[in-house]
Structure 1
Amino acid sequence: MATLTRRQRFSFPEIPEWFETFPARFAMPTMGDLYTIRIEDYMQDDRYVVRAELPGMSPQDIDVVVGDGMLTINAERAETDTQKSRSEIRYGSMSRSTTLPPGADENDITADYSDGMLTVSVGMGRDKTEPKHIEIQHTV
């Protein structure tokens, strides 16, 4: 008789991540014409880097806010008064927030906008604490 066993690990580790980013992959308008900004994040030279795709924006239309361990990017594209026969360009407000990793220094942040990409770099300057073992007292 065959015995079935259940594997604890997911066979395709990228699939749960794909579902977590599903809304960003197929961003659709929501209430108030709010759109999701597509981002990518990674560590580079002891800095946490977030890149946001914001083509056709001017830096004056982009606002980067950091606080309480969150990084938020807000942008707004105003519609022109030109008569159009067709438009596939998204207008209105866009926003995206991401949680900063542990150890991120909210006072060491730079932002650069070039070629439609916003790059935000956050220093990882806070002391990283190692796990601390606590001695257990035993009283008789």
Structure 2
Amino acid sequence: MALPTGPTGSWFQSTDLPSRLFEGSRSDYELYEEDDEFVLSVELPGFDPEEIDVAWDDGVLNIAAEHEDDQRGERKTYHRRFRFPKTVDDDEIAARYNNGILEVRLPVQTGATTRGKQIEVEG
């Protein structure tokens, strides 16, 4: 068997290697800011609302879910943390689960600014 002599792209194309390597690497969530609130949508198919735990702690949203299927002997888990760059009104955070999608709305406090500091670039 001879090594490929053509361009790398054509060799990868014939083996379909890149698509197999990155299959399933798409994001399972969408996060955006609109109308003074963050909106986070997370794909969580196969879970019941009572199996999903959403917690807020000092600028970090923690989402965990666990489902056990005794008939199949399977256990499905999900865990992800999201850090937010603005001060969120803790009392107004709302979460809703519908058709396998968890939507969390996190209102930004009025007048809240991004936390952080300017970093000087040396050169």
SS in 2 for 1:102: coil
SS in 1 for 2:45: coil
Which runs of 5 or more structure 1 residues have no equivalent in the other structure?
Answer: 1-21, 27-36, 84-89, 131-140
Aligned to 2:103: 119
Change (3 A) 1:121 1:54: same
Q: TM-score, normalised by structure 1?
A: 0.57
- As a proportion of its length, which structure holds more strand? 2
Aligned to 2:33: 43
Instruction: Judge conservation of contact 2:86–2:113 (CA < 8 Å) in 1.
Output: no
Q: TM-score, normalised by structure 2?
A: 0.64
Aligned to 1:98: 82
SS in 2 for 1:103: coil
The alpha-carbon deviation at position 124 of structure 1 amounts to: 0.7
Structure 1 runs (4+) deviating above 4 angstroms are none
The alpha-carbon deviation at position 92 of structure 1 amounts to: 3.0
Percent identical across equivalent pairs? 33
Quick one: distance in 1 between partners of 2:77 and 2:39?
A: 23
Give 1:47's aligned amino acid: E
Aligned to 2:42: 52
The alpha-carbon deviation at position 52 of structure 1 amounts to: 0.6
Residue by residue, what CA displacement relative to the aligned partner does 1:56-95 show, whole Å, maximum 9, x if unpaired? 1110000000011100100001022248xxxxxx733210
Give 2:25's aligned amino acid: R
Aligned to 2:119: none
